[in-house]
Every structure is written in C-alpha cells, then in structure tokens.
Amino acid sequence: MHLLEVKNLHVEVEGKKILNGLDLSVGKGSVHALMGPNGSGKSTLAHVLAGKENYQITQGEVLLDGEDLLALEPDERAARGLFLAFQYPLEIPGVATMTFLRTALNAQRKKRGERELSTPEFLKRVREVAGKLGIEQEMLRRGVNVGFSGGEKKRNEILQMALLEPRLCVLDETDSGLDIDALKVVADGVNGLRSEARSFVVITHYQRLLNYIIPDVVHVLSRGRIVKTGGKELALELEASGYAQYREEAA
Amino acid sequence: MNAEIRPIKTAAETALAANFARALGTLPGKGTVAALREDAFRRFEADGLPHRRLEDWKYTDLRALVREAKPLAAPPDATAKARAKDAAAALASLEARRIVFVDGAFVPELSDLADLEAGLTIRSTAEALAAGDVELTARLGKIVATDDLAVALNTAFMADGALIHVAAGTALMRPLHLVFVNAGAAAAAVFIRSLVVIEAGARAMLLESHEGSDGYQVNTVLELQVGDDAHVDHIKITGDGAGALHVSTLMASVGAHARFNEFLFTTGGAIVRNQLLVRFVGEGTIAGIRGASLVKGRQHIDTTLVADHAVAACTSRQVFKSVLDGEARNVFQGRIVVRPHAQKTDAKMATHALLLSESAEADNKPELEIFADDVQCGHGATSGALDEDLLFYLKARGIPAEEAEALLIQAFVGEAVEGIEHAGLRDALMEQVAAWLEARSH
C-alpha cells in the first residue's frame, strides 16, 4: 500500500476551483517532487493535506496509510506522522521555541499513547538535533521565529521536522527566499532525514533545490492536476524549457 | 450656589445615606476625622453614585449597576478568620510579609509583624484614625487630591486599612503583601483606606490581593507617596468573588529620579473599576504602569488611568492587556497629561484586547493632553480575535486546538506580565493565567 494516496481531489477556495481532479501516490521511503507554475495549486495541496481551514473539498479523497486524512483535525494528522514545512513560517512572540517544541512533541506522543518526554530527555533530543543544523541554543530561548532571518526560519522548520520524526514530510517551497548557503544547510537537513520509513513531497517552483534533494519521482502540476510524471531528469527538462507547454496542454 | 436638579435618589443611594447617618458615630475617628467624613459624604451626595453622564464614568454606570447598598461589614468572627487563613496561597512562594484584613478589618493574629526591618512601620488605619493621628489626617486625601465620587464615598466610610512607612534609605528585603479577604457569612460593604509612604532612596515591593465570597461591595483606596530616588513596585491582584463589586483607587505621587512600577492583575469580581491617578512630582523618574485582565461570563472590568506628568523629563510606559470571553466587557480609559513645563516627557500608552467570543466587548478611550512642546507621547490600541494562521501553525505541529489557544493567550498576557521585575511573582501570575485557561476549558 502507498503511504499517501490522493485520489481525484477537487478543491475550491471561495468558489474558485484550485485543484481539479488531482491524483498522487507516494510510496514508503520515496521522495516526490511536485513542480509547477505559480497558481497551479501546489501550496493549496500542501495546505489541504495539513488541514488548513477555508478550503472546500468538493470531490475526492486523501488516505494516509489507508486512513481518511480529511476527516482528521490538523493536530491529529500531525500525530499520525504528517508534517508540513511552511513556505512562510510564522512568528509567535511570547512563545519560546523550546516551549513550542516540547508542547508539540509531547502532544503528539500523548495522542499516540506514548510516554511524554521528561524535561532532561527532551533537552537532550533538542540539543542533538539543533547541533546538527547549526542552530544556537540562544535561538531556542527566543519566541518562535521572532527576529529570525529567512534562512533561520527554514532551518527551524527542519529542526521541528527532525524532532517530530514524521512519516510524511511535505515541504512547501522550502527553497523560497534562501541563498545558496542556506539552501545547502536545509537540503543537508532533509537528506539526513531520508530513510526507508519516511517519505517526502517536495514542492518547488525551481529545479535548483532538486540539485541538493534528489527526488525519486518528479510531477508537474498545472491547473490543479498532475499533467506529467517522470524521473529526476524531468526537473532538468523543465528548467530548460519552462512551464509554458504544460499550461497549454492543460488548457 | 448652583442648585442643579438631581434625579430622585436610587435605593442604593438612599441606603448609603441611612448607613452613613447610622455609622458616623461608630466609625473610627472623632473631631477632624468625623468632619472629613461629613464633608466627603456631602461631596458624594451632590452627585450620588457615579453615572454615565459623568464623562469619567461613562462606561461604568454605578447608578445603574449597583441596585442595593450592602450593610457595612461587621468585625470578622472566628469563622471568617479561619476561612481567611489560606488566603492568597498561590502567592505563598514569594515569602512576603503578610498583613491580613478580613472583611476590611486588620487581623493581627493572621499577620506577620514579627522582626520588622529597621525603618519599617506598619499600623492599622482604624487605630490611627481613632487616635486622631496627625501624620495620617494631615496627608489623607492630599497626596493626589481628587474630587472623585468613589474616593469621597471611601473617605466618608473608611474603616480600616494599612498605614505603612518606610524610612529613607531603607531597602526592604521581603515584599509586603496586603491580603484582603472577604469571608463573612453575609455579603457586606467594605471600605478600605491605606496610606503608604516610601521615603527617599528606599526600596519596597508592595503586593495587594483581594479575594473572597460573592456579592461583597469593596471600595478601596490606596494613597502612595514615593520619595525621590526610591524604587517602588505595587502589584494589585483583584480576584474577588464572582458577584462582587470592586472599586479601587490608587493615588500615587512619585518623586524625582524614582523607579515606580504599577501592575494590575484582574480575574475576579462582577464589576471592577480600577482607578489609577499617578502624578510625577520630581524630574527624571521612570515608571511602568501595566496590567492584565482575564475575564469571562458577564464580568465588567474598567481601568481608568491618569498619568499626570506635572514636571519635566519623566518617562512612563503603559501597557494593558485584556482577554475577554463570554459576554465580558473591558473598558480602558487612559489619559496622559503633560503640563506646560513638563518638557522632555516620554510617555507611551498601549492597550490590547483579545476577544475570545463574538459577544465580548472592549472599549478603549486613550487621551493625550499635552501642553508642552518638546515631548514624545503616543498611544495605540488594538482589539481582535486569536490569529487563525498562528493557530493553524500550532495545530499543524500536533498541538490540539484548545492547547494552541492557551499558548497564544499566555503569550499575549505574558507580554504585559514581563514588565514585573520580580521573577517569582511573574511565575505566580502566569500560573494564575494557566489556571484561568484551565477553568475556561472545563
């Protein structure tokens, strides 16, 4: 069975059709890249998977390990192993990053019937992961993402991902706004988490990120549906030819 | 004399007049004090209970809200005192020197008056009034003079309170904690009058907490004099019973090069009016005037503040946050006055309301009255619901909706509580915030 199955998904926002019969199957341990022009529905898919409000699902279904994902609250989806790395991570003044991380981790563990981590256990875990990503302890004491640069915010997303150990990671334009050094740090973080048990959907407009996170499968999204699927070389083709042809094909 | 026609007295006003006539002979203090009371009651009677046509009371119409005047509280009996033993337990970790009042009366046997630091004196207002103490009567009502009706009513009926003096240069190691508990079998009216004088260069932290049974009517006045170079924190925690009326006035005069921090923390009471009249009388002082209220049901909380920059070069920061659930209502009236010679004043006022329900209401009335030309003054006000995007971010990380809301509310309130210097008190208040949130979710 596939870890994630999206079947004939139709989604509207305020009466406007965004996803238009999207099908996507992601197997265990594989990395799928989802590419497409602006407005093709990439971020909508990410938000719908994570459970953001104000999207009307008019048709179709989404299964995570065979379970109806759309019937679950966002926090329940997270506890079952879904993680969305935000395109624009939010700043939460007054909530220390440490508090945020511990609350999230223990909420998920509790929901899965696992023991909550003690403070020393938790601190040890965070230090290990933060160290690998070059995140200073001082940053963890600050409010979530408050005063962080674009690169730091994205690194913080990867930190959360590493700590929460999801089964399915959806990266929504994680490369946006990053310079090449920051991009490498983020990509290294992601690559370090690749495993047989973990799958990725990497959403990106540009091929650049895929030089560092090498996908198993590349999909092209246009007008709310997948119009082409291929190997990693498809990303290179797109880089050379652009999205224009897919816009026309979909039309 | 301008004989303005007054509407017919309300039942509460009639009862107050009867109570006053009956009590005048038994309230502490004869001669000067009795005359002061009579003057004050005449002042009160001229206008009666404050009502919406008085600009300062526009949002909190006591004439309409107060249906009856409770009888004056009797001295607390043994049962009431026993109930008061565990009062303010949540603040026990501060190891403050507790001075306990039950139903408005000082209770020495519940208070910690042993080994007073040199330079610290503590007495009961009732005692001082009865003795006609000149130190008290000479200052009463004069630290920051006001013709406010609630203060007039307090002066007429004042029964007891704390009279505290901290000598020049004295640094108190332990906070002072005035613990007010209403624990009588029947709801009553309590009139508390306190006078605290902190002399030059002294350091003191004064905590004041109010709690107790339903239905009480509390009118409390604190006159506070902060000397030059003194460093004073005053934190008032209003946690009265659900049906209580609580009207409080702080009249503070702050000397030169002082540090003064005021904080109001309010969760209790049906109707709460906190009046803060802060006057700067010496240059170069830095003051923080902050507050947080968390209210629900049909609670009505009014904070009315006047920061009077009467002299030059003082800095004041005012930050008030309110969290409103149910049909609760928060009123904030804040006025910064900068008098003609108060150049280089730096005053900023911010109020923020977080509305957790559709039917909660926040009223903000910030005012600047500036008569000097070289100043920096400003105010800002916001009100709104919890940020949906932030909530989604938290939920997407596995945090259930209720917990996500609690985190954001704690962060919101925390921004004001951070202004408190004492770390232990900050923690204690944030625990009360957590307890409020816990109660909200059940």
User: Position of tokens 């310079």?
Assistant: A179
Per residue in A124-167, pLDDT tens? 999 999 998 888 889 999 999 999 999 999 999 999 999 999 99
- How far apart are the CA of A81 and the nearest CA of chain B, in angstroms? 9
Band (pLDDT 50/70/90 cuts) for residue A239 is confident
Tell me the domain boundaries of chain B: 11-282, 387-442
A160-192 pLDDT tens trace: 999 999 999 999 999 988 999 889 988 999 999
Q: Is A249 a residue whose pLDDT tops 90?
A: no
DSSP states of A212-249? TS--SEEEEEETTEEEEEE-THHHHHHHHH-SHHHHHH
> Does B397 contact A164 at a Cβ distance shorter than 8 Å?
yes
How many Å apart are CA A36 and CA A246, to the nearest integer?
9
The CA distances from residue B261 to A127, B191, B210, B221, B424, in Å, are 38, 25, 19, 18, 16
B64: buried, middle or exposed (CB in 10 Å: 19+, 13-18, 0-12)? Answer: exposed
Q: Tens digit of pLDDT for each residue in B363-404? A: 999 999 999 999 999 999 999 999 999 999 999 999 999 999
Look at residue B202 in the predicted model and tell me its pLDDT: 98
Say whether pLDDT at B73 is over 60.
yes
Which domains are present in chain A?
4-250 (3.40.50.300)
Whether residue A250 has pLDDT greater than 60:
no
Task: Name B26's Cβ contacts closer than 8 Å, sequence gap at least 6.
Answer: none
Q: How far is CA B280 from CA B175, B259, B283, B312, B415, in A?
A: 24, 11, 8, 9, 25
| Residues B29-63: tens digit of each pLDDT | 999 999 999 999 999 999 999 999 999 999 999 99
Residue in B389, B397, B411 nearest the CB of A104: B397
pLDDT tens, residue by residue, A204-222: 988 999 999 999 999 999 9
Mean pLDDT across B403-416: 96
Q: Given a cut of 50, is residue A251 above it in pLDDT?
A: no
Do the Cβ atoms of A164 and B394 come within 8 Å? no
Disruptive mutation site among A47, A95, A98, A161 for chain B (greatest number of B CBs within 10 Å): A95
Nearest to residue B245, comparing CAs of B223, B213, B277? Answer: B213
User: What is the C-alpha separation between B381 and B362, in angstroms, rounded?
Assistant: 10
Q: What mean pLDDT value characterizes chain A?
A: 94
Residue A196, pLDDT > 60, answer yes
Statement: residue B142 has pLDDT above 80 = yes
CB B71 within 8 A of CB B50: no
Q: Using 50, 70 and 90 to split pLDDT, how confident is the model at B5?
A: low
String of DSSP letters for A107-148: HHHHHTTPPPPPHHHHHHHHHHHHHHTT--HHHHHSEETTT-
The helix/strand count (H/E) of chain A reads as 9, 12
Angle CA(A21)–CA(A25)–CA(A29) in degrees, nearest 5?
Answer: 155
What's the pLDDT at A230? 96
Q: Is B107 exposed, middle or buried (0-12, 13-18, 19+ CB in 10 A)?
A: buried
Q: Summarize the confidence of residues B185-191 as an average pLDDT.
A: 95
CA B383/CA B352 separation, integer angstroms: 6
Q: Name residues whose C-beta falls within 8 Å of residue A119's C-beta, 6 or more positions apart in sequence.
A: A102
pLDDT tens figures, A6-30: 999 999 999 999 999 999 999 999 9
- pLDDT above 90 covers what percent of chain B? 97
Shortest alpha-carbon distance between residue A236 and chain B (Å): 32
CB contact under 8 A, B398 and A108: yes
Strand A82-85's sheet: what is its strand order?
A82-85, A168-172, A199-204, A31-35, A217-222, A225-230
pTM summary value:
0.93
Q: Would you give the end-to-end CA distance of chain A in angstroms?
A: 33
For the ranges B92-96, B315-319, B437-441, the lowest mean pLDDT is seen at B437-441
CA distance readout (Å), B407 to A78, A106, B6, B339, B403: 18, 14, 50, 42, 6
List the one residue out of B271, B337, B330, B324 whose CA is nearest residue B294: B324
Which tokens sit at B4?
């303005």
Predicted local confidence at residue B135, as pLDDT: 86
CB A212 within 8 A of CB A184: yes
Q: CB distance from A150 to chain B under 8 Å?
A: no
Q: Average pLDDT, whole number, for chain B?
A: 96
For residue B392, the chain A residue with the least C-alpha distance is: A52
Tens-digit pLDDT profile for residues B193-225: 999 999 999 999 999 999 999 999 999 999 999
CB pairs under 8 A between A and B: 76
pLDDT at B173: 93
pLDDT score recorded for residue A240: 87
Q: What is the pLDDT of residue B355?
A: 98
3-state percent breakdown (helix, strand, coil) of chain B, nearest 5: 25, 35, 35
Could you give the CA distance from residue A88 to residue A186 in angstroms, rounded to a whole number? 15
Question: What is the rounded distance in angstroms from the CA atom of residue B441 to the CA atom of residue B336?
Answer: 38
CA distance B415 to chain A (A): 7
The sign of the torsion formed by the CA atoms of B338, B339, B340, B346 equals: negative
